[in-house]
């Protein structure tokens, strides 16, 4: 399990732990806003967890709290048994955003090695590491291309390689395929599962798409808005490795219906 | 040739032709307006006389532009690293921009003498502002998610500056340079109006006092050619350095 072994938490314990986490902040006009209320969540190493819910339910906020981009105003967060700031210092987080956010003046190779350059990895090791990852996502032969020469799906693969380049224990993905067309999205889902199985990384995945969440995840965290809170955590018990055909199966449709009802407030 | 260049060229030839025809048909006196043919002949016959004037103006424009560029980029970079410095400087940068050049030109002559330097100073005063404002904006125009990524690997401010900000700033820096290079030509000419014995600006003053409209228009044609060529050079450099296109957000 790449990266995930670096933790100092109790063996077998959760890699991410949220205990009664809340976040309030003041808006520009002085109102106190509750972005997240009393969130409890445990994620075990190597797990694939999705966060789903309406806009403004705090999905992205949870990602930012886990990765120390935001600090909770209530409760406590532990990553590998330590405060998130510590895990961040040990570079345990990889990020993939909705847009690939590649640097347009850098080639595929140069974009993929950006973070390694910052950290100061020597060039040979950097190249071999990234070449391996580019092979994993099927971008061998595109090393010298620029982002504007690639399709949206390919750009997002480069973004995934960049996120994985430092062997993070936890990959935080914020609607990474939300801007892609449905066919590309399906293919990217399959690729992501393959990468997840190959690397053993823990993945926390934010999405708007119920079928996507069910298809990918071991557990789906259903959230509701105003204030953002965890409504229910639905374990997905579908066979692996998952194939696209599973989307037509009765249990799959059962899961999507249940989650849709939960989001629409009919799940109680 | 590309249609991109053929169209404006065609328009220019057409307009000049119309001007020539009207000038002849309406018998416009030479001291009011010269004919294009007359201007061209004047230019040709005076080519040896005009050459040193072109050279001086080009030197003033280029020297002022390059100095303004170096100054503006240095200050923009310092403002990125020391935000308070920006708070202190920005009002004064705006104030300097609003100073009427004609008001301080006599002072510049006193300070820098009669040669190239007062003109170069005017060019710097005029072209510094668009470069510095756009460079600051450009250096700040980085995607916040790239910043989060850099933060996740504890990148230093210098690393962020060198690996992200400098290149990300280029589209806006070039927008500033395009405004600055054309302003530089105006700056040099205005500088020469105030006191000079060479340069295209001097030529214009000289020609207008003698009502030599053909020479006056010759100088303006040369200024236009100079402005167009310099602008073209900046645009070519932009295409070379900003090869990914402005609208690309990825």
Q: Does A101 touch chain B (CB under 8 A)?
A: yes
Q: Are residues B121 and B224 in the same domain?
A: yes
Cα angle: A214, vertex A219, A223; to 5 degrees: 85
- Considering chain B, what is the average pLDDT of its residues? 91
Q: Are residues B98 and B202 in the same domain?
A: yes
Q: Which residue carries 């009011």 as its tokens? A: B32
Q: Are residues B123 and B6 in the same domain?
A: no
**Does a structural domain hold residue A209?**
yes
Q: Are residues B123 and B5 in the same domain?
A: no
Handedness of CA B43, B48, B51, B52 (dihedral sign): negative
Report the percent of chain A where pLDDT is more than 90: 70
**Segment A231-256, tens digit of pLDDT:** 999 999 998 888 888 999 999 999 99
Cα angle: A207, vertex A212, A213; to 5 degrees: 65
Considering CB atoms only, which of A67, A99, A147 is closest to B152?
A67
Q: Are residues B13 and B59 in the same domain?
A: no
Q: Give the HSE-up count for residue B150: Cα atoms under 13 Å, Cβ half-sphere.
A: 20
Q: How many domains does chain B have?
A: 2
* Mean per-residue pLDDT, A2-13: 51
CATH number at residue B120: 1.10.3720.10
Contact: B250, A99; criterion CB under 8 Å: yes
**Using the 8-state DSSP alphabet, how is residue A6 labeled?**
G
Contact: A91, B152; criterion CB under 8 Å: yes
Q: Are residues A221 and A231 in the same domain?
A: yes
- Considering chain A, what is the average pLDDT of its residues? 90
Q: Are residues B171 and B63 in the same domain?
A: yes
Pairwise CA distance, residues B79 & B88, whole Å: 10
For residue A213, pLDDT over 70 is answered with yes
Q: Are residues A143 and A158 in the same domain?
A: yes
Q: Are residues A77 and A122 in the same domain?
A: no
For residue B246, pLDDT over 60 is answered with no
pLDDT of residue B247: 44
Domain containing B228 equals 46-241
Q: Does B247 touch chain A (CB under 8 A)?
A: no
Residues A111 and B149 sit within 8 Å (Cβ to Cβ):
no
For residue B142, pLDDT over 80 is answered with yes
Please give the model's pTM, rounded to 2 decimal places.
0.85
Q: Are residues A75 and A154 in the same domain?
A: no
pLDDT of residue A83: 94
Q: Give the HSE-up count for residue B72: Cα atoms under 13 Å, Cβ half-sphere.
A: 28
Residues A177 and A189 sit within 8 Å (Cβ to Cβ):
yes
pLDDT-derived band at A266 (thresholds 50, 70, 90) equals low
pLDDT-derived band at B51 (thresholds 50, 70, 90) equals very high
CATH number at residue A33: 3.40.50.300
**Does a structural domain hold residue B33?**
no
Contact: B146, A103; criterion CB under 8 Å: yes
Q: Are residues B4 and B55 in the same domain?
A: no
Please tell me whether residue B147 adopts helix, strand or coil conformation. helix
Q: Does B150 touch chain A (CB under 8 A)?
A: yes
Q: Are residues B20 and B110 in the same domain?
A: no
Cα angle: A137, vertex A239, A136; to 5 degrees: 10
For residue A267, pLDDT over 60 is answered with no
Bridging pattern class, strands A48-52 and A202-207: parallel
Q: Two tokens at B93?
A: 């940068």
For residue B248, pLDDT over 50 is answered with no
Q: Which residues of B touch A119 (CB under 8 A)?
A: 153
Q: Does A167 touch chain B (CB under 8 A)?
A: no
Q: Are residues A141 and A207 in the same domain?
A: no
For residue B100, pLDDT over 80 is answered with yes
pLDDT of residue A143: 94
Pairwise CA distance, residues B231 & A47, whole Å: 57
Pairwise CA distance, residues B158 & B140, whole Å: 14
Q: How many domains does chain A have?
A: 2
Considering CB atoms only, which of A95, A115, A148 is closest to B248?
A148
Chain B: nearest CA to A94, how far in angstroms? Answer: 8
Considering CB atoms only, which of B152, B155, B243 is closest to A95?
B152
For residue A162, pLDDT over 90 is answered with yes
CA distances from B1 to A177, B7, B10, B49, B225 (A): 44, 10, 12, 33, 19
* Upstream peptide bond of A241 is cis (omega within 30 degrees of 0): yes
Domain containing A73 equals 13-92+169-179+200-267
Q: Which residues of B touch A144 (CB under 8 A)?
A: none
Q: Are residues A106 and A237 in the same domain?
A: no
pLDDT-derived band at A26 (thresholds 50, 70, 90) equals confident
Q: What is the DSSP string of A119-169?
A: HT--HHHHHHHHHHHHHHTT-TT-TT--GGGS-HHHHHHHHHHHHHTT--S
In 3D space, the residue among A150, A144, A16, A157 whose CA is nearest the CA of residue A96 turns out to be A157
């Amino acid at each position: 399990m790449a990266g995930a072994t670096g933790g100092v938490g109790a063996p077998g314990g959760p890699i991410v732990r949220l205990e009664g986490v809340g976040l309030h902040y003041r808006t520009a006009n002085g109102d106190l806003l509750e972005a997240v209320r009393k969130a409890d969540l445990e994620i075990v190493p190597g797990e694939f967890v999705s966060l789903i819910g309406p806009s403004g339910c705090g999905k992205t906020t949870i990602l930012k709290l886990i990765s120390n981009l935001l600090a909770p105003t209530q409760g406590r967060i532990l990553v590998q048994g330590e405060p998130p700031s510590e895990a961040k210092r040990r570079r345990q987080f990889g990020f993939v955003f909705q847009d690939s956010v590649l640097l347009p003046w850098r080639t595929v190779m140069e974009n993929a090695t950006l973070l390694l350059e910052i950290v100061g990895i020597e060039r040979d090791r950097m190249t071999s590491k990234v070449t391996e990852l580019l092979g994993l996502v099927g971008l061998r032969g595109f090393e010298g291309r620029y982002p504007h020469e690639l399709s949206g799906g390919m750009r997002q693969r480069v973004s995934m390689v960049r996120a994985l380049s430092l062997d993070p224990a936890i990959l935080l993905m914020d609607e990474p395929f939300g801007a892609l067309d449905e066919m590309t999205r399906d293919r990217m889902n399959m690729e992501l599962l393959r990468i997840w199985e190959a690397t053993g990384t823990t993945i926390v995945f934010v999405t708007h798409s119920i079928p996507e969440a069910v298809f990918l995840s071991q557990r789906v965290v259903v959230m509701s808005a105003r204030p953002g809170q965890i409504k229910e955590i639905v374990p997905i018990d579908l066979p692996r490795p998952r194939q696209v055909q599973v989307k037509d199966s009765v249990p799959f449709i059962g899961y999507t219906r249940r989650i849709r009802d939960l989001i629409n407030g009919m799940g109680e | 040739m590309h249609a991109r260049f053929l169209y404006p060229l065609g328009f220019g030839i057409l307009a000049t032709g119309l001007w020539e025809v009207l000038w002849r048909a309406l018998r416009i006196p030479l001291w009011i307006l010269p004919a294009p043919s007359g201007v061209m002949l004047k230019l040709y016959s005076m080519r040896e006389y005009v050459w040193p004037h072109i050279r001086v103006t080009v030197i003033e424009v280029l020297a002022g532009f390059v100095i303004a560029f170096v100054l503006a980029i240095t200050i923009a970079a310092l403002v990125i690293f020391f935000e308070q410095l920006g708070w202190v400087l920005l009002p004064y940068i705006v104030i300097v921009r609003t100073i009427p050049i004609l008001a301080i030109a006599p002072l510049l002559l006193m300070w820098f003498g009669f040669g190239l330097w007062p003109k170069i100073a005017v060019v710097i005063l005029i072209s510094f502002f668009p470069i510095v404002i756009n460079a600051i904006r450009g250096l700040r125009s980085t995607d916040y998610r790239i910043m989060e990524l850099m933060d996740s690997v504890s990148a230093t401010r210098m690393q962020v500056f060198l690996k992200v900000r400098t290149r990300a700033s280029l589209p806006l820096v070039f927008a500033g340079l395009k405004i600055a290079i054309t302003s530089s030509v105006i700056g040099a000419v205005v500088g020469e109006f105030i006191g000079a014995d060479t340069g295209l600006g001097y030529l214009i003053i000289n020609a207008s006092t003698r009502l030599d409209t053909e020479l006056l228009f010759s100088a303006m044609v040369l200024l236009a050619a100079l402005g167009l060529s310099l602008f073209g050079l900046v645009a070519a450099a932009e295409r070379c350095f900003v090869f990914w296109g402005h609208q690309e957000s990825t």
